[in-house]
Amino acid sequence: MRFNSALAQVRAFADRRRWWILGALVLAEWIFVAREAFFASAHNGWIYQDGDDGPWYWTSAWTLASLHVPTTAVGFGWPYLLTPLAAIFGPDMANGLPAIVVLNVLVLAPAAVIGMYLLGKRIAGNLFGLWTAAVWVVLPGVALLLYRPKTRPSVIDSFLPTATGVNALSDFPSMVCAIFGGYLLFRALDRNDVRDGALCGIVLGFLVLLKPANGPLLVAGAVVLALALRFRALIAAGVAVIPALIALTVWKRTGSGTIAILPPSTGGGAPSTPGKPAPAPPSHLVQLYHRAVSGFHQYVNFDWHHLDANVHDLREVFWSLRLLEFVLVAGTIALIVRGRWKGLLVVGWFVAFALVKATSLQATVGSTSLYRYLLPAWPAWVLLVAGLVLLWPSGERRRAQLVLADAARARTSAPPPRALLVAAALVLAAGPLVLSVAASPIAPRTVAQQNFTGAPIAVVDFGLTAKRTGPSTVRLRWKGLRTGRARYGYRIYRDTGDGCDTLGEGAPVCRYSSQAIADSGVPSFTDRTAVGRLFYRVALVAGWSLEQTKSNVQLLSKPVSVPAR
């Protein structure tokens, strides 16, 4: 009786002060992020580790600001949101990083805390919602303590900047979008309402627009809605997701020449042999089919041996794999028993991402890339951990009260306001669709990729000049550029041509492979081995740690040539 009385008092306090509690949790989240960002994670000014993928998004946003599309190996959603920032801060990503951090940490991070509260509240009421939000804030720090000391620094330097939103990647926004996509799926399961389904489809469509690899949540949600016979919401969501899929298709087609990132079809058949006619080339539909299959395998390619290797590696770096297995099994039981279809959705959400990502050859524990790919499933894992408290036994009367409370909560919740639905449709559906249709491929030699594999960067005017001062001496000068209050330098490239090769269909990207001949800390350099007609470029370089301050190219200059002497 004393326990039930204390629980009732806690529940009453939580009902009265829930926004105060959430405010305290947001403050705790900010303190954790600030501590890790300033004192734990390696960084160079505002530049944190991003796997060298940050310029993909920033350069895409910079070209979109002028209605142009570069090569499109990433999703469209995050460059679309970053376009206003890129228009203000220019082509150098490091200069725009403070604004990205403000957006992620001061806007999206509090939204994530509130979203986790709403998810938990939909499953088991207000008190469980606050408990879920508290687990969301505390669990990252606890998880770090459970890593072996020798592997913890790698996680802090390589993964935590992405998980806390202090770099330019789309994984953190994807995680926050997944939270609200899951919440809207919960509403659709409760109400089976067209308006809920439409808003759910808009948000989930934008989730896929952020990263096509976020598709497992969309698939899991569609399956659970169908199994639960929520066909009105399912149909509305299916219709609402179409604009995002069209925008993504147009984006990929404009930037890459194909819907999937694949080599273009030559249109020819197999070679003919003497005396035999050449076989007819495959039909257009057959080509599309093979491209669709190849594109599917680009994102979903199950390798069970690699999954086993990742599990083995996780056992080597984490305190106890048995603990993770217990949480998965016990949390699954608790959520399905208490939340029914919503619990099944949470389990499907996490398992779908885990199977797709952990079996991919690109995802490894050692590089922490697996954790980054699983970030959109982190909310589902937090719900599984929080759900362990639901295993506490309750009497028959209490279970009956919980069932009635769930039914009342589902019945009394109002549909989303029309203004919210219209705003979401304009910003998250119509906006990307219009921009993707209006944008055209970039002009040649506007964007460059180093050695065919690097991220695309802007080619800008450094004011580079080259003057031959002797038979084998060339003096280079250029404007001094700065980058994001970080340590930086310049890299000098030399070639017998301008170094640009434009390959494939879609947006023309300068894929340069010129030789780097020197690094310089000042905007001038003298080449004393310059023989013959030569072309020079200069790059602004800045790395993510003080030990690697000159590792990553941020901007590339236009070429300048000097004649032979």
Are residues 351 and 480 located together in one domain of the fold? no
Is there a single domain that holds both residue 371 and residue 476? no
Does the residue 522 lie in any domain?
yes
State whether 363 and 334 are in the same domain. Answer: yes
Domain count, the chain: 2
Task: Report if residue 41 sits inside a domain.
Answer: no
Q: 440, 463, 480: which is the final residue of a domain?
A: 440
DSSP state of 363: -
Convert the pLDDT of each residue in 343-390 to its tens digit. Answer: 999 999 999 999 999 888 888 998 899 999 999 999 999 999 999 999
Beta bridge mates, 362: none
**Segment 515-541, tens digit of pLDDT:** 889 999 899 999 998 888 899 999 999
Mean pLDDT of 311-340: 91
Same domain assignment for residues 424 and 485: no
**pTM exceeding 0.85:** yes
| CB hemisphere CA count around 139 (13 angstroms) | 19
Domain boundary among 440, 467, 482: 440
**Residue 399 φ/ψ, nearest 5 degrees:** -65, -40
- If we measure between CA atoms, which residue out of 496, 492, 514, 501 comes closest to residue 444? 501
Integer Cα distance of 403 and 380 in angstroms: 23
- pLDDT of 469 > 80? The answer is yes
- The structure tokens listed for 306 are 């690699």
Say whether pLDDT at 563 is over 70.
Answer: yes
Q: How confident is the model at residue 168 (pLDDT cuts 50, 70, 90)?
A: very high
DSSP 3-state assignment of 359?
A: coil
Residues 230 and 136 in one domain: yes
User: Is the residue at 426 inside a domain?
Assistant: yes
- Alpha carbon distances (Å) from 538 to 209, 437, 491, 524: 35, 34, 6, 10
CATH classification of the domain holding 494: 2.60.40.10
pLDDT greater than 50 at residue 99: yes
Pick the more confident residue, 460 or 299.
460
Question: Cα(561)–Cα(464) distance, rounded to whole angstroms?
Answer: 10
Kind of pairing, strands 515-520 and 510-512?
unpaired
Give the residue numbers spanning the domain of 462. 447-562
Alpha-carbon gap, residue 513 to 452, rounded angstroms: 8
- As a whole-number percent, the residues of the chain with pLDDT over 90 amount to 58
Of 419, 440, 461, the domain-final residue: 440
Instruction: Tell whether 539 is covered by a domain.
Output: yes
User: Do residues 149 and 170 both lie within one domain?
Assistant: yes
What is the torsion angle, in degrees rounded to the nearest 10, for the CA atoms of residue 260, residue 224, residue 108 and residue 23?
A: -170
Q: Has residue 216 been placed in a domain? A: yes
For residues 436 and 478, membership in a common domain is answered with no
Structure tokens given for 153: 């620094």
> Using CA of residue 186, residue 192, residue 198, residue 201, what is the dihedral sign?
positive
Q: How high is the pLDDT of residue 270?
A: 44
pLDDT digits (tens, 9 = 90+) for 479-510: 988 787 788 889 999 998 888 887 667 788 88
Return the exposure string of 317-355: e unless at least 16 CB atoms fall within 10 Å of the residue's CB, then b: bbeeeeebeeebebbbbbbbebbebbbbbbbbbbbbbbe
End-to-end Cα, the chain, rounded Å: 97
